[in-house]
Amino acid sequence: MDSQVLLVVTALIVYIVMAICALIPVCIVAKKSTKDCNFSRGTERIISFCNSMAGGVFIAMCFLGLLPYAQDKTRKVLADLNITTDFPVAEFTCILGFFLIMSVEQLILQCQNSKNKTKGDWEVPITFDETDRSSKLNYYNTVRDEILQLEPAQGCSHHQVERLLKNKSGGTLRLTLLYMAISIHSLFEGMALGLQTDQMKIFHLFFAIVFHEALIAFSVGITMARQQLTLKQGVKYILIFSLAVPLGIFLGLVVQQAPGTGGSVASAIFQSLAAGIFIHVTFLELIPAELASSKDRMVKVAFHFLGFIAMALVTITMGSHH
């Protein structure tokens, strides 16, 4: 199968998987007489372990896939341009990608906090404590903390988090900002996939992204359900939200198909930026979000390692048949 066709197929699969995962909690809650979508502690632990495994998968993708590929791509571009340098160009661009997604994330959180302060006179004081706590993490951690609350801060209950989510004075804008941030993050992940030309690397990255995005989509679906949206509203928002990764894939394809040296340079730059974004997602989002809780620490470490080993074995196996 041609790599372009394979990317189109993966875009369709990712869209369907994300939409289904997000729709499940919305549909379940829509059929209930009460808008209660709390999960048992056992279910929350399973979700946490899956997220830990996703962290391990992302570690493998960063250092066994994206970064080496970006380095190789950059070396080829520099050779084509007859440029000789000892400066680590790929690694430098990778860190620029790291700071890019960090800047976007913090800008959105700043807008979110400004809105909360503006509406402060009408909000319950405990909301500020929980918002300040969540803001120390990034937007993805914020969503997970609000949904799962595996280790609530002292004095903050699960019901208080629900009050924060259902707060009419700023909840809609707050969630819109969070979804916007997650969508930007997903767009870059999709671009990383769309830039690939090697089918083995496409499969590797697809596996990592679909696993990660399925968990995010499920969390988004839970948050939407708690906002007491109608089923029609929920479906509409989810179908739009699920477009982020496929859109990123198609943008990556466009860059990949750009003719001449300019296209090769753009592809190498975006490959390196994508590697930096994945490093940010892994080490500032997935891993801290899980290890922030004092429960099941070593089990979570084991799941991180399991995800890494699984992806490494897939890399070795597929590489030997390539």
In a structure prediction context, what are the per-residue pLDDT tens digits for the chain, which is 322 residues long?
688 889 999 999 999 999 998 888 778 766 654 555 555 677 778 878 877 887 888 788 788 877 888 898 899 999 989 999 999 999 999 999 899 888 887 887 787 677 666 555 444 443 434 444 444 444 445 544 444 443 433 333 333 333 334 444 444 555 565 577 677 778 878 888 888 888 888 888 888 788 778 877 887 777 677 666 677 877 888 888 889 899 999 988 888 787 777 778 888 888 888 888 878 878 887 788 788 888 888 999 999 999 899 888 877 776 554 4
Q: What is the pTM of this model?
A: 0.62
CA–CA separation, 99 vs 158, rounded Å? 33
The burial of 261, by beta-carbon neighbours within 10 Å (0-12 exposed, 13-18 middle, 19 or more buried), is given as exposed
Closest CA to 186 of 160, 208, 201, 161: 208
Eight-state DSSP code of residue 256: H
Closest CA to 4 of 198, 209, 188: 198
CA–CA separation, 173 vs 296, rounded Å? 34
- Dihedral sign computed on CA atoms, order 230, 173, 166, 17: positive
* pLDDT value of position 280: 85
HSE of 231, CA atoms in CB hemisphere, 13 A? 7
* pLDDT value of position 318: 60
CA–CA separation, 264 vs 260, rounded Å? 7
Domain spans, the chain: 3-32+92-320
Angle at 226 between CA 184 and CA 181, to 5 degrees: 10
